[in-house]
Structure 1
């Protein structure tokens, strides 16, 4: 399995839809390679040519190379703005503005309302742990000095050491010794007042109340650049914000510094005591303003995004500087801004990466359309003439893009007639091919004109609406309405984008609407171009088919005069075939036109065909069966020659050649075998078959079936719904058994719908009515006539059959058809 097949991009030769008549077979080597190497190279050359043309269509804008300096004389040509662009601020000024915004934006903090409670709780917890440690120490010293048991002293000693080790938290051993000594002395009454730890913890609680009442940040205050800060409550469900001046709060480091100063005032000349107090303060203190880094950065980014990098705007066609002018600061900024805008729109042509990027994007847009044709429109992709036509239509648009770039006006791309090509493809091929072509052209338009989404959107929107407006085109005047639709589509997008600009109703809007009007007027070129396409590329559109369906055309008028029976038969076949084609989703118009012309060859020898004969006149009675077969089969060849003389398109000629396929002229074949007697085996069946070919499309197969059914229905003497159904089913079974439908994509489901359509219409044609009194009644349940007894005349067939002409039994595979010879 190749890489194409693994990706699902390989051709699928020999594949049929589920339920198709022709059993799927293993593709041969010839089938597997759908295109020859030369054919592939031709299509690759078309793709390459379109890609080169698209790359050449990119506008060449080179007005400033960044080498100008303030104060120098401008020695080059005058510089005129080729499009609207904004004057950008110098990078230094832009950075200064951003830095100013960043500094001015207040940071966001969340207020922790329980910070004081948490701090006091930590102080109480630390006090309790200190008291437990000191109590254990006092008991141990008391037991040891009083001469108590060694075991009790040892237990108290271990408990004290464990509690002391658990204190930790920044206190040194020397500091712990001071605290223990103070507690022991106080316990023995040797020291007045509170122990040292209680005095220091009490001071920490007092300091915490004072500082938290003022407000303490959990970050250094010097890190806050703004003069205020935003304080939010902690509950997100009821969020409130307030601005607090930075001078009214303290930072975390400042809070520690204030605490240290206060402790020094409480214990002057005792730095060790101050250190112990600061250790207690750091371990228990909680700031009440918590910094919200993510929320602050998010708000700061919002403010920075509001900083405008531009200062004013230069309109299209504004003269920026003249030759000989001394470059001023303002002119330098405009030139520099034009250079930036130019690079953003079209890139720097001296930079290889820009060229490579353009190549990749252009061929991606074109390959999308070519891949669609390769996978889903094989009939177009495999036909080199059709691919050349497609390339010419796309190339026509690319030339329009090039002209718009040369003109240089911002409104020029809206005048490029993309909708014209979209409508042509919809008429020549179908709406899906046109839609994919429009999508690719819209992408190319956006790329070529500097990634302009407005142009791309307007091109795709107007092109698709143009395609929709001609999906069922019936006459040439309908194009006027399509032009109005295309103009309204462009106008809608242009006006919508104008509302997004600062100056929506300026000259730019007028110019763009004028360009869209030119685009709509160019749609009048569809018909002359379409005539050239039909003649130069053998394309038949629905418009041409509609014109061919007019029964007043000379060849049909002549048919109605020379062979009125055949003309009436053709119209009936056209009605049956059109309805059946519509039922299975085939091209109903093409089917009808093919049915109308399928028997025009009979007008050269109308008397040899039963529908044109008068009673008692049968020239076949004077001919041998083999000669009669030649005369009957000749109407196919004669029809093709008449069709070419009357310049009928190939799609109609194909119906003439295939409406009998390679079917057997059965009546004369059997008659020849009867006349040969014992030498019946010498009669060659091939001499009694139509030249063919067999139907290649579903539409051709429908005409073959409709022709057989309509002719055979005329042979029924007393047609009723049951007999008509049996007749239709027998004819279908015969054509399938004879392999006449093998080259089409008809499925059994399609055949069922066609059979039902034929039966319904035939019942309507013979319009069965209630019998009035006195009329002979017909037994609806009576069996059909004995098939072994041929009617006096095989009504509706190509020949008349004498009353006494015996018919042999039909072969099993064609039972029910061989007993009613068909033309």
Structure 2
């Protein structure tokens, strides 16, 4: 499948056309490919070495050629990981309501003893109540140790916090407790237990935070006596304890585990090892030595190997182009385009490779490798896309290889080849830009399938590797599609390319110009559609751009919309206005439609290739009807006026491309055959060949590259297409029935 290029105008080849076919330029472009490959792979294959000594200032910024562990940074990362571990706390269930019950039991027992005086009770409570708490803690700790659920460090911390956070009754409370009656104690106990249970439902590291809420909760209780409220507050505060305790042992274990789980910190590929102007310490010197970056001796073998690899890449491109029948074989403009596509694709891979490190080891799958393949197949040719895909994949394997012992990483080569071929299959005969997005999705899907295949075959693939790889591959396909959609218009504009996608968009009948043609000149619209069918078939028969011919045919008579009634295909149920005007005026009206059409196409920013067809499809042909009419009028007038044939010719230019010439032939053939009421096969064949011969004799094909063989092929293709169009109306002489009342049909 070929792509259209803007044709040169004029009677002699322009400098631009000479540049496009110059062998010297072609070899210079191949040299450009070699330089691109060499310098893009140089740092990957042949790391630069440096003449550096310790305790001297570095004259350059030095980057890591591959990944290597940074021991100091690894240790720092371990400490940071450990510091991020939050202290481990354990919640311990403590039955604080038992403290409350014990207190009220003692109060009731002593306050109802008639033999005890007030002062004795005060002294008793001053010693008894604090002891209730310490006794409870002692019993509680024995129970915990017997259960064996907690380590000794945590047990000691629990006992320490319980004792340190013990609440002390106010001295005034000891004088108020002896005065409480049995009814007071009963009411108070219920409220105290309820509040303690509610507050102890929350985890408490500090009991004081819960004690601050006691006053409000007691005041909202059912107690009415102030003394009862005050003493309940004291008892509740006394009974509250922490229930969440710091576990130092488990915290240390968690931090040790975090250190152990910390992955080694590497000097990632392309990370800075030494900054320009930085002093070279002994440690830095040893680091550079580890990376083999010290210049000890000159070794040209890697450079020679890279040169041979580059030569093989260029040779593959050169031989494929040379032996193919693609238009790029003699078109340096397309070779420049291919070079730019390679450049952009390699730049995309190099940019992604800058982010390749230990944290994102599979970021290479994000690279838009398929972008280059998609651009080649859409803007150039499918066969060339296969060769380009293989080279892109090999370069991807080299660029994203992080192992110093391995030149090429087969994982990236494999996935790149998969996604590139998926792009080719998805975009073959693409006709809409939405197809590119669909192709991006297919690239993502097949990229993920390639990674899953690797994961199943390679035991070194972890779930983390798989998840990263799938994520990057899925995003990479979409990025490739988005980049292609964004870049394509620049190529189309810079190189004057009409891609199939653009041509299909221009053939949409809802576009303003085509709707104008349909509504204002319906006969011309139908004629243009028929010309499109004929020209596409003829163009494909001789290897020209059939889609361009079809779309160019839709627009070739757009100028007729300025005066549609002056063209016979639009004259339905009306007189021909040319019958009442001079032939010179008729000539001026008719010959103006190519120029008017070009102006309209320019106003709507249609590509130059379409405008060229509209301008060149009549070439400099003669308007025979009006010329002979003018000659006849001149003879009848008797004035002896000579009518020059040149005055009744279209202004041109002649067809500069195969496509413009084919549309011109098809335009004339369609109009001529349409004028026949019941065309036969012989009439159609004779008319097609006569029209082509007349144009050939008139020199209309002198400035395009149609050969006599091409014209014969075009005649056959037009005849076959017309037979299909007029199938039901063509009479086959050999099949005519003997009965004159019936008519044979094919």
TM-score range, shorter chain: 0.5 to 0.7
Which of 717, 721, 730 is the matching residue for 1:754?
Answer: 717
Distance 1:437 1:729, change over 3 A: same
Determine the C-alpha separation between the residues in 2 that align with 1:779 and 1:413. 69
Distance 1:317 1:688, change over 3 A: farther
Q: CA deviation at 1:593?
A: 0.9
Q: CA deviation at 1:417?
A: 0.5
Determine the C-alpha separation between the residues in 2 that align with 1:753 and 1:481. 38
Which of 568, 585, 597 is the matching residue for 2:555?
Answer: 597
Q: CA deviation at 1:427?
A: 1.5
Q: Which residue of 2 aligns with 1:712?
A: 672
Q: Which residue of 2 aligns with 1:439?
A: 390
Determine the C-alpha separation between the residues in 2 that align with 1:579 and 1:364. 40
Checking the alignment, whether the CA contact within 8 Å between 2:49 and 2:292 is kept in structure 1 is no
Superimposed CA distance per residue, residues 85-104 of structure 1 (whole angstroms, 9 cap, x where no aligned partner) = xxxxxxxxxxxxxxxxxxxx
Determine the C-alpha separation between the residues in 2 that align with 1:537 and 1:443. 28
Are 2:518 and 1:567 equivalent residues in the alignment?
no
Q: CA deviation at 1:754?
A: 1.1
Are 2:536 and 1:578 equivalent residues in the alignment?
yes
Q: Which residue of 2 aligns with 1:43?
A: 29
Which of 421, 428, 439 is the matching residue for 1:482?
Answer: 439
1:361-510 equivalences in 2 (<5 Å): 361-366=309-314, 368-369=316-317, 372=320, 387-409=335-357, 410-448=361-399, 449=401, 450-505=407-462, 507-510=464-467
Which of 735, 742, 747 is the matching residue for 2:695?
Answer: 735
Distance 1:80 1:398, change over 3 A: closer
Checking the alignment, whether the CA contact within 8 Å between 1:59 and 1:406 is kept in structure 2 is no
Determine the C-alpha separation between the residues in 1 that align with 2:728 and 2:524. 17
Deviates more, 1:584-593 or 1:411-420: 584-593
Are 2:611 and 1:653 equivalent residues in the alignment?
yes
Q: CA deviation at 1:420?
A: 1.7
Q: CA deviation at 1:380?
A: 5.1
SS, match of residue 650 in structure 2:
coil
Checking the alignment, whether the CA contact within 8 Å between 1:660 and 1:692 is kept in structure 2 is yes
Which of 460, 474, 477 is the matching residue for 1:520?
Answer: 477
Distance 1:615 1:408, change over 3 A: closer
May I ask how many residue pairs the two structures share in their alignment? 500
Q: CA deviation at 1:34?
A: 6.4
Which of 668, 671, 688 is the matching residue for 2:648?
Answer: 688
Q: CA deviation at 1:702?
A: 3.0
Q: Which has the larger radius of gyration?
A: 1
Distance 1:696 1:528, change over 3 A: same
Root mean square deviation of aligned Cα = 4.8
Q: Which residue of 2 aligns with 1:165?
A: none
Superimposed CA distance per residue, residues 408-442 of structure 1 (whole angstroms, 9 cap, x where no aligned partner) = 34423322111122112211222123233223322
Q: CA deviation at 1:656?
A: 0.8
Q: CA deviation at 1:46?
A: 4.3
Superimposed CA distance per residue, residues 129-181 of structure 1 (whole angstroms, 9 cap, x where no aligned partner) = xxxxxxxxxxxxxxxxxxxxxxxxxxxxxxxxxxxxxxxxxxxxxxxxxxxxx
Q: Which residue of 2 aligns with 1:531?
A: 489
Q: CA deviation at 1:522?
A: 0.8
Q: CA deviation at 1:31?
A: 9.7
Determine the C-alpha separation between the residues in 1 that align with 2:336 and 2:580. 55
Q: CA deviation at 1:494?
A: 3.5
Checking the alignment, whether the CA contact within 8 Å between 1:428 and 1:539 is kept in structure 2 is yes
Checking the alignment, whether the CA contact within 8 Å between 1:706 and 1:758 is kept in structure 2 is no
Determine the C-alpha separation between the residues in 2 that align with 1:421 and 1:554. 34
Determine the C-alpha separation between the residues in 2 that align with 1:704 and 1:606. 20
Checking the alignment, whether the CA contact within 8 Å between 1:573 and 1:710 is kept in structure 2 is yes
1:276-355 equivalences in 2 (<5 Å): 318=264, 351-355=299-303
Q: Which residue of 2 aligns with 1:82?
A: 67
Determine the C-alpha separation between the residues in 2 that align with 1:379 and 1:597. 25
Determine the C-alpha separation between the residues in 2 that align with 1:56 and 1:78. 14
Determine the C-alpha separation between the residues in 2 that align with 1:348 and 1:600. 74
Determine the C-alpha separation between the residues in 2 that align with 1:663 and 1:475. 37
Superimposed CA distance per residue, residues 516-566 of structure 1 (whole angstroms, 9 cap, x where no aligned partner) = 222112134132332343345433222221121112211122222322221
SS, match of residue 58 in structure 1:
helix
Bigger helix share: 2
Determine the C-alpha separation between the residues in 1 that align with 2:581 and 2:620. 23
Q: CA deviation at 1:583?
A: 5.2
SS, match of residue 630 in structure 1:
helix
Are 2:588 and 1:630 equivalent residues in the alignment?
yes
Checking the alignment, whether the CA contact within 8 Å between 1:419 and 1:462 is kept in structure 2 is yes
Determine the C-alpha separation between the residues in 1 that align with 2:697 and 2:26. 38
Superimposed CA distance per residue, residues 734-755 of structure 1 (whole angstroms, 9 cap, x where no aligned partner) = 3343343452446255235313
Determine the C-alpha separation between the residues in 2 that align with 1:703 and 1:656. 9
Using structure 1 for the length normalisation, give the TM-score. Answer: 0.52
Q: Structure 1 segments of 4 or more deviating over 6 A?
A: 27-34, 59-65, 77-81, 347-350, 381-385, 678-681, 767-772, 774-780
Which of 660, 664, 683 is the matching residue for 1:723?
Answer: 683
Are 2:508 and 1:550 equivalent residues in the alignment?
yes
Q: Which residue of 1 aligns with 2:229?
A: none
Checking the alignment, whether the CA contact within 8 Å between 2:41 and 2:398 is kept in structure 1 is no
Checking the alignment, whether the CA contact within 8 Å between 2:368 and 2:476 is kept in structure 1 is yes
Distance 1:366 1:612, change over 3 A: same
Deviates more, 1:691-700 or 1:408-417: 691-700
Q: CA deviation at 1:508?
A: 3.5
Are 2:497 and 1:511 equivalent residues in the alignment?
no
Q: CA deviation at 1:373?
A: 5.2
Distance 1:349 1:40, change over 3 A: farther
Superimposed CA distance per residue, residues 348-392 of structure 1 (whole angstroms, 9 cap, x where no aligned partner) = 996333234324423542464366557758855777765554333
Q: CA deviation at 1:757?
A: 2.0
Q: Which residue of 2 aligns with 1:271?
A: none
Superimposed CA distance per residue, residues 215-249 of structure 1 (whole angstroms, 9 cap, x where no aligned partner) = xxxxxxxxxxxxxxxxxxxxxxxxxxxxxxxxxxx
Checking the alignment, whether the CA contact within 8 Å between 1:577 and 1:595 is kept in structure 2 is yes
Determine the C-alpha separation between the residues in 2 that align with 1:33 and 1:78. 42
SS, match of residue 358 in structure 1:
helix
Q: Which residue of 2 aligns with 1:178?
A: none
Determine the C-alpha separation between the residues in 2 that align with 1:731 and 1:607. 25
Determine the C-alpha separation between the residues in 2 that align with 1:521 and 1:33. 37
SS, match of residue 395 in structure 1:
helix
Q: CA deviation at 1:641?
A: 0.8
Determine the C-alpha separation between the residues in 2 that align with 1:657 and 1:457. 50
SS, match of residue 407 in structure 1:
coil
Distance 1:749 1:412, change over 3 A: farther
Distance 1:520 1:673, change over 3 A: same
Checking the alignment, whether the CA contact within 8 Å between 2:20 and 2:332 is kept in structure 1 is no
Q: CA deviation at 1:660?
A: 1.7
Deviates more, 1:518-527 or 1:676-685: 676-685
